[in-house]
């Protein structure tokens, strides 16, 4: 579910089940306003549910934060699944990934990376930081596998460079405008990929 998928003032009347309304409210509010600045009362109000309903669906705020981040992880994994199902040759899959990330920067994550944002609010070890680390490990490993399948030189270096570039583009898009940064990300990513072709 996109942070922009349902307008905040429409979530309570969206017809979604209570759990989905809570997750939609948490996603929109946590992403736009920050996790620590949004209390459970605000999530409950936007979702149009009772406090008892929230605690029936989620053990507490941290469980809701973890669900929000797992949902963000699932969306990115879904993009990679769509790329894998495209039937493109291995050397074309990375180009589709670059295009998907470019679209994400331009249209979906216009206020930075939800994982970087969450890491800034959770500096200490714990379940949130563990989930962030798992997500980043998966992302880097998946890019490495795609680079290896495309027979690029030094797939680890390619993956590391693309992770770094995406991180910078998501932050830069928030600061300088995603419409300016997204094309620059794609151009730079393709330079990296082309530079590692055998």
As a whole number of angstroms, the distance between CA 182 and CA 146 comes to 21
Query: What local confidence, expressed as pLDDT, does residue 43 receive?
Result: 96
Give the tens place of pLDDT for each residue, 133-186. Answer: 999 999 999 999 999 999 999 999 999 999 999 999 999 999 999 999 999 999
37-52 mean pLDDT: 95
User: By three-state DSSP, how is residue 110 classified?
Assistant: strand
Between 1.10.357.10, 1.10.10.410, 1.10.240.10, 1.10.287.3240, what CATH number should domain 62-195 receive?
1.10.357.10
pTM of the entire predicted model = 0.91
8-33 mean pLDDT: 92
Confidence class of residue 6 from pLDDT cuts 50, 70 and 90? low
With 60 as the cut, is the pLDDT of residue 5 above it? no
For the chain, give every domain's residue range. 8-58, 62-195
As a whole number of angstroms, the distance between CA 26 and CA 179 comes to 26
77-97 residues labelled b (16+ CB within 10 A) or e (exposed): eebbeebeeeeeeeeebbbbb
Domain 8-58 - what CATH class? mainly alpha
Query: What local confidence, expressed as pLDDT, does residue 7 receive?
Result: 76
């Amino acid at each position: 579910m996109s942070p922009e998928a349902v307008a905040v003032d429409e979530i309570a009347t969206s017809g979604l089940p209570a759990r989905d309304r809570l997750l939609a409210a948490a996603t929109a509010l946590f992403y736009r306003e920050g996790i620590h600045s949004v209390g459970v009362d605000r999530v409950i109000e936007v979702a149009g549910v009772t406090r008892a309903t929230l605690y029936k669906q989620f053990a507490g705020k941290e469980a809701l934060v973890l669900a929000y981040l797992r949902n963000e992880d699932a969306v990115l994994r879904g993009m990679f699944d769509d790329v894998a199902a495209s039937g493109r040759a291995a050397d074309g899959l990375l180009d589709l990934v670059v295009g998907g990330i470019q679209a994400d920067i331009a249209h979906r994550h216009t206020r930075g990376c939800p994982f970087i944002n969450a890491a800034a609010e959770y500096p200490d070890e714990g379940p949130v930081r563990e989930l962030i680390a798992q997500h980043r490990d998966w992302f880097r490993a998946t890019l490495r596998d795609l680079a290896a399948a495309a027979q690029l030189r030094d797939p680890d270096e390619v993956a590391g460079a693309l992770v770094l570039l995406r991180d910078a583009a998501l932050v830069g898009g928030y600061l300088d405008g995603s419409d300016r940064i997204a094309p620059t990300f794609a151009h730079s990513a393709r330079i990296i990929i082309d530079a590692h072709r055998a």
